[in-house]
Amino acid sequence: MFDRHVHHCRRCGTAVEQRVPDDGDTRVRAVCPSCHTVHYVNPLLVVGTVPVWQDGRVLLCKRAIEPRYGKWTLPAGFMELEETTQAGAARETDEEAGARIEMGPLFSLINLAVVGQVHMFYRATLLSDVFAPGDESLEVRLFAQDEVPWDELAFSTVHMTLKRHFEDAARGDFGFHHMDWQPSSPR
CB neighbour burial string for 121-138, b if at least 16 within 10 angstroms, e if fewer? bbbbebeeeebebbebbe
Q: Is 11 an interacting residue with respect to Zn ion (CB under 5 A)?
A: yes
* Contact (Cβ atoms closer than 8 angstroms) between residue 65 and residue 25: no
Report in angstroms how near the CB of residue 25 gets to Zn ion at its nearest: 17
Closer to Zn ion by Cβ: residue 12 or 144 = 12
Stated as kind and residue range, the H or E segment containing 109 is strand 101-112
Residues between 27 and 86 that touch Zn ion (CB under 5 A): 32, 34-35, 37
Q: Which of 135, 182, 139 is nearest to 157 (CA)?
A: 182
| Amino acid (1-letter code) at residue 4 | R
Closer to Zn ion by Cβ: residue 33 or 70 = 33
Among 12, 113, 132, 170, binds Zn ion (CB under 5 A): 12
Stretch that binds Zn ion, among 14-22, 93-101, 117-125, 174-182 (CB under 5 A): 14-22
Chain residues in the site for Zn ion (CB under 5 A):
9, 11-12, 14, 32, 34-35, 37
